[in-house]
Amino acid sequence: MSAVGVIGGGSIGLLLAGKLSAAGYDVTIWTRTQRQADDLNRYGITLEDPTGMTLHQSRVFAVHYTEATFFKHGPILLAVKQTALTSELYKQLARTVPVGGSLVLFQNGIGHVERLQQELPNRHIVVAVTTEAALRLNGTTVRHTGKGETQLGEWGSSMIDQQENQHTNRLVDSRKTINDVEGVLQEAGFTAFLSNQLREAVMRKLLVNAVINPLTALLRVTNGDLIVTDERIALMHSLFTETFVILQAHGLKEQQSLWQWVVQVCEQTKDNESSMLQDIKANRMTEVDAINGAICQLARQQGLEAPLNTMITALIQASHSNRRE
């Protein structure tokens, strides 16, 4: 396998494409605008370290996403936000990912996996939960602001299930697909591994995103600035506690250690602007519906109240009315 496709020219998309190209893969990247595709074909991707020093200047082949055709050469990494998952994009994905092909999902939030499984039958859908941090400086330059890890797996299945049914062709194929994706990402320098607890990993990331992203967006502060005053920490903890209670039914446990982890994320990414803050500042739609809005939906299913998540979702949604179309 020597070729990889990447859909999305945002921070994670450019990070994936740049590191894969630097590792020797032939990378095709599909972008939202023709201008970015032209710039990428002309200049390639510049990958910087956290200090701003250039690590690699990588060549890629870029096209506008509407021009994508069947990609039969390797896996396709879907690195767009949930707000980009429109009916039009689903149709384009059906024309791009061949039957039997692999699509790797790098989205925040929940709810999208089931929809993609419905829209793309007979494809291998792999879920990636990543803590890699990146900042897109322009259409061709990305800064790798924090090294993390990427957990891979199938949504709705577990390694126990696969071991118990290891003789079925479907599960063997799925395991091979995930192993192939794992190898590709590892060769590009990412810490990637097959997870036995993918659903828990998804819920852990949802918890972190539900606390940090909307509060940084509403307060207009970096991640680290959330923990500089007692008032902000108290607000964080209240939102964390409400969200944790709701997500307990989906496998989360050890409340205190998870709270410490949320604080640690703020410390380790203290200079980062969350994706939701970046969207608010750029007058773009945010992923609040797939994050805090999804928390509210899970609460309703359990007969629980989620007043903080409901209020925060409404506040972020209200800011959408000022976005540029």
Catalytic residues: 205
Residues 6+ apart with CB under 8 A from 298: 246, 247, 249, 250
Phi, psi of 188 (to 5 degrees): -85, 0
CA distance 20 to 210: 30
Of 150, 138, 148, nearest in space to 45 by CA: 138
Helical spans, DSSP H, in 224-291: 230-247, 255-268, 275-281
The encoded tokens of residue 210 equal: 């539900």
Tell me the torsion sign for CA atoms 114, 214, 147, 237. negative
- Helix and strand totals (H; E) in the chain: 12, 12
Pairwise CA distance, residues 256 & 58, whole Å: 43
Q: Which of 229, 292, 302 is nearest to 266 (CA)?
A: 229
Backbone angles phi, psi at 214, to 5 degrees: -70, -35
Cα of 174 vs its chain's centroid, Å: 21
Backbone region of residue 251 per phi and psi (left: phi > 0; alpha: psi in -120 to 50; beta: other values)? left
Q: How many CA atoms lie within 13 A of 261 on its CB side?
A: 16
Q: How many residues does the chain have?
A: 325
